[in-house]
Chain A
Amino acid sequence: MTPPSPGEDGFSLSPAAATGVGDGQALTDAPYGHAETVSGKRSSRRVNPAARAGAARPRGRGGYWLYLVPSLVLFLAIIVVPFLMNVATSFTRWSGVGTPTWIGLDNYTKLFKDERFWASFEHNVALIIAMAVVPTIIGLVLAAALFDYIAKRFGGRTASALRAAFYLPQVLPVAVAGVVWGWMLHPSYGAVNQIFGLKVNWLGDPDIALATVMAIMVWFQLGYPVVIFMAGLQRVDPSLYEAAEIDGASWWRRFWHITIPQIRPEIFVVLLTCTIAALKVFGPIFVLTRGGPGSATMVPSYFSYLNFFQKVNVGYGSAIATVLALIIVVVTFLFLRVQERDQESGS
C-alpha cells in the first residue's frame, strides 16, 4: 500500500497543507541500520532455536492490547463519536440549540439542488488542478532539471540552493501565506498593483478571484513535489542516466524514459496528498476571500463552516461535511487501488 520512501532528506520537512502521508514516508527509511548490527552480534550468542521459539512470546499476545487503550479511548471520544454525531446531525434540522428535528434525507436532496454546493465542488476541481496537477507537472520538470542538469553542470550546491528557494513557501502556515498574498494583492496599497501600475482588484473581482487563488496555491504548493521528487531521484541507479547519456539520449528522452518511470511511487504520493489537501482547503479561502466575492471562490469546507457557525444551519452544514468526508475517503481508496495495480503491472 505504501510506496518506498522518498529518502533521507531534511527538506522533506512539513508540507503543511498536505495530509502528511507523503512526506512522512521519508521516515520509514533506514531506521534500523544501527540496530541490525547489534542484532547480528546478538545472534552469535543465541542458545538454540527451540529455546528461542519458546521465548518469543512467553506471555501471549493479549498483554499488548493494554498499550492501545489510551489511544482507543481518546480516539473514540475525539474522532469516532463526533464523526457519527456529524452523520446523525446531517439527517436533522438543528440550529445548535434545543432538540434537532429529524428530517430524513431532506438536507441531502436540498444539497443536490443547491447551486452554491455544486459551484463549491467546481472550485474544488480548480484547486485540485492548482494544488496537485500543476505543481506535480512543474515539479517533475524542475526536479529533473535540478537533478539531471544543474547538479551535474553547476554543482550540487547550486541545485540545493535553488531547491530551497522553491521550497520556502511550503514552510509557511497556509494562513500566513494567505496574509502575505492578501497584503501583496490589496487593491489600493498592495505591492503588486503598485509595482506594475495596475488597478486590478485581484481577489475582489468575481471574474478573476478564483484564478488568483489558484495562482497563489501553485506558488505555495510547488516546493513540495520538487523536494519529494528530488529525494526519489536519489535512489535511481545513476548508471541508468549514464548509459542513456552515452547512447546520446537527449535530456527530454531521459526525462520521459528514466525519470518519470523511476519515481512513479513518489508521483502517486504527491498527487494523492495534494489532491486531499485541495479537497480540504480552508485556510487560504478564509483569509483571502471568505468564499467571495459572491460565491466565486466558495469551497465545500468553507461552505460547511458558513452553515455551522454563521447561518446556524447545523444539519445542512453536517450534510456538506459528510459528503466531503465521503469524497475524500473514496478518492483515497481509488488512488491506492490504482497505485497497487500499477505496481503489480510494473513488477
Chain B
Amino acid sequence: MNADRTFRQPGRWAVLAALVVLAVVMLFPFVIVTLNAFKSPAEYSSGGPLSLPHGFYLDGIVAFWDRVDFGLKLWNSLLISGVVAVAAVVLSVLNAYALGIGKVRGRLWILVLFLVANTLPQEALVYPLYYLSKEVGLYDSKLAVILIFTVIQAAFGTYLLSSVLGQFPRGILEAAELDGASRWRMLWGIVVPISRPTLSVLLIFFFIWTWNEFFLPMVFLISNDNQTVPVALGVLQGEKMMDATMSSASALLGIIPAVAFFLIFQRTLTRGITVGAIK
C-alpha cells in the first residue's frame, strides 16, 4: 500500500477515467433504448436519439405490448423456465445421488455422456426432435420445450452436482443408515437439505438459461399463444410496421425482465453461496 504514493495523481485518474469511459460505452445502448422508448415518433425525428423525452409517452410501449400480447409472452417464459428449473434440479439430484454418493458402476462413462450431451449443438438434435414431436402431437406445445430443456439442463446439473456430492460428508449418511433410514429418506431428509445452497443456485441458473434460450423455442413454439419473450422479440425484429420508438420500446421490454432477474437473483446467489461457506 505504500506504493500508492509513488503513483502520480494524474496517472491514477487517467486509469479510472479510461475505465469509466468504457463502462459508459457498455451501458450506452441501455440508456439510449430507455430514453427513446418513452418518445413519440415525431419527438424522435425532431429531437434525435439523445434528447431527453418530454414526459412519459407510453403509447409506443402500450402499442407494442398489446400487439404481441406481451403479458402472455411473459407468462409463457415464466412457466417454461420455472418448470424446467424445478424439474431439472430434481433430475440432477436423483442422478447425482446415484453417481456421486452411490458411485454406481460405469459412472465415469455416464458423466462423459452427460457432458457430451451438454456440449452438442442443438442444431444436431432439432430436426429429429421436430419430427418426433409432430409424430406424438407435442409440436407447438410448451410441454415439448419443457421436456427438451429439462434434459439439457439436467445434463449439466448432473455433471456439476455429481462432483459436489462426491465430497458429501460420509459420516452423516453412515449414521443415518445405522438408524435404519432408507436411501429415499436419506436423499430427501439429509442430502437435499444440506445441499440446499448449491441447489438453489443451480435452480436460478437453469431458470435464467432457459429464459434466455432462443433457437429451440423459436422452432417449436410457432403459435402466438405459446411464444416466449425472446422468441416474440426476435421474430418481430426489423418488421416494417415498427417505427423507431416502437422498436425501442420492444427492446426495452426485453431488457427489463433480464435486468430484474439479475438484480433479484444476484443477492440470493451471493447469500446462498456465502451461507454455505460461512458454516
Interface residues of A (CB under 8 A from B): 2, 8-14, 16, 19-21, 23-39, 42-43, 45-47, 51-52, 55-56, 58-59, 61, 63-68, 70-71, 74-75, 78-79, 81-83, 85-86, 89, 96, 142, 145-146, 149-150, 152-154, 158, 162, 165-166, 168-169, 171-176, 178-184, 186, 189, 191, 194-195, 219, 222-223, 245-246, 248, 276, 279-280, 282-283, 286-287, 300-301, 304-305, 308-309, 314, 317-318, 320-322, 324-325, 328-329, 332
Contacts and interface: CB of A to CB of B under 8 A. Distances in A.
Contacts of B152: 78-79
22 contacts: A9-B270, A20-B209, A21-B119, A29-B273, A30-B273, A30-B276, A38-B172, A39-B169, A59-B183, A71-B154, A74-B151, A78-B125, A82-B129, A83-B120, A142-B22, A168-B259, A175-B230, A180-B254, A182-B238, A183-B244, A305-B126, A308-B126
A86 B255 contact: no
A145 B244 contact: no
Given A219-B26, A287-B237, A301 B121 contact: yes
Contact of A33 (B101, B183, B229, B276): B276
A81 B132 CA distance: 10
B97 A189 contact: no
B32 to A, nearest CB: 5
Interface in B71-101: 91, 94-95, 97-99, 101
A291 to B, nearest CB: 13
B124 A176 contact: no
A64 B183 contact: yes
A75 B172 contact: no
Given A24-B156, A31-B276, A175 B234 contact: yes
Interface in B2-52: 2-4, 7, 12, 15-16, 19-20, 22-24, 26-27, 29-30, 32-33, 36, 44-45, 48-50
Contacts of A145: 15, 19
A283 B169 contact: no
A8 B273 contact: yes
Interface in B126-171: 126-132, 147-148, 150-152, 154-156, 158, 160, 163-164, 167-171
Task: Label chain B's interface by main secondary structure.
Answer: helix
Interface of B: 1-4, 7, 12, 15-16, 19-20, 22-24, 26-27, 29-30, 32-33, 36, 44-45, 48-50, 91, 94-95, 97-99, 101-105, 110, 113-114, 116-132, 147-148, 150-152, 154-156, 158, 160, 163-164, 167-172, 174-175, 177-178, 183, 187, 194-195, 197-198, 201-202, 204-205, 208-209, 211-215, 218-219, 229-231, 233-234, 237-238, 243-244, 247-248, 250-251, 254-255, 258-259, 261-262, 265-270, 273-279
A19 B168 CA distance: 26
A168 B105 CA distance: 44
A61 B275 CA distance: 32
A8 B274 contact: yes
Contacts of B147: 74, 78
Contact of A195 (B49, B125, B156): B49
Nearest to B202: A27
